[in-house]
Amino acid sequence: MAGDDERLPSWVTWRRRPFPDANLLLLHGRGPALVDSGFVGHAQETAAWARARAGTRVALVVNTHWHSDHVGGNALLQAAGARIAAGTPEARAIARRDPGCCQAEYLDQPVAPYTVDEPLDDGQILQLGDADWQIVRTPGHTPGHLALWQPEQRLLAVGDALSDYDVGWVNLALDGPEAAGTALASLHRLADLAPRVLLPGHGPIPADPGAAFATALRRAQRLVDDPSGAVWYGARRIFAYALMIRDGIPTTEAEPYLHARAWLTDAARLLGRTPETFATELIDAMLRTGAIAQRYGRLHAAAEHAPVAAEALRVPFPRNWSSGSPCATRP
């Protein structure tokens, strides 16, 4: 789906996109606002789409959280004059140029350098386009994750807190063993709003928001009840994403690639395995379930995804971001 939906008011345009991008939410008005900006490999496409649909440049980009598939167009849009808004914990880390920004190096997911102009706090009212939206802090998928609530129309943009078919993975290694419980509490808070329309970061707009929440709450409870399962769930998602943005990885290089990843080492530790053992188990399990496939000597993610040009990945990790103005690519 690439545009209008009868459930949405005329001043809202929503676009569903396949991985590695997040969906886009464009809010029209005198100062058009974009919620999330996709992956860096498709930043030009994101900016062109938003400008064409808005009829003018985007004035503000609001990030639900800082993962690469939600902030990848920030640098390009900011260079064109947009301001960037994000949850306060992430905004502070971006301002410090913390090496852990966006979990980009940890996850091996490139993010072009950007700055945050407006930190956002829970309960804050933010004008997006010509309508007022409330910031709802929803930590769990990341500590700084937020949702956006428009009470008059009962619209709820939820980022990766949930979708029609899933819940966001949680990082028990970085965010602590309580992260799954935190995510579950955030889901309960969102469900209590009883939205008319759910606008997720991935997948379709759910036909029945109540049913989507019921499914999400059950799945989130499983992550709380089964920490090992939560670790496996996150590892599968991260590795599949790595395959998506790299047009696969040669089969002979897949295990060495995983051995070098900090997230894999952390997951193995939580599961009581060596990184080498867990890398083998992860690949075998994903091949067995069909989550990845082997074709012409490469491992590929099975889920639908858009191709990414290799040169789009050549951006610096946050430890090498300058403290000056954002840039879109590294020479």
pLDDT 10s digits, 164-208 = 989 999 999 999 999 999 999 999 999 999 999 999 999 999 999
Q: Is the pLDDT of residue 326 over 90?
A: no
CA distance 158 to 145: 9
pLDDT 10s digits, 267-300 = 999 999 999 999 999 999 999 999 999 999 999 9
Residue 330 has what pLDDT?
A: 31
> What single string gives the DSSP state of each residue in 149-203?
EETTTTEEEEETSB-SS-B----HHHH-TTHHHHHHHHHHHHHTT--SEEEESSS
- Give the list of residues 6+ apart from residue 98 with CB closer than 8 angstroms, or none: 318
CA distance 183 to 221: 9
Nearest to 146 by CA among 131, 129, 158, 154: 158
CA distance 86 to 132: 16
| Domains of the chain by start residue, with CATH | 12-225 (3.60.15.10), 227-310 (1.10.10)
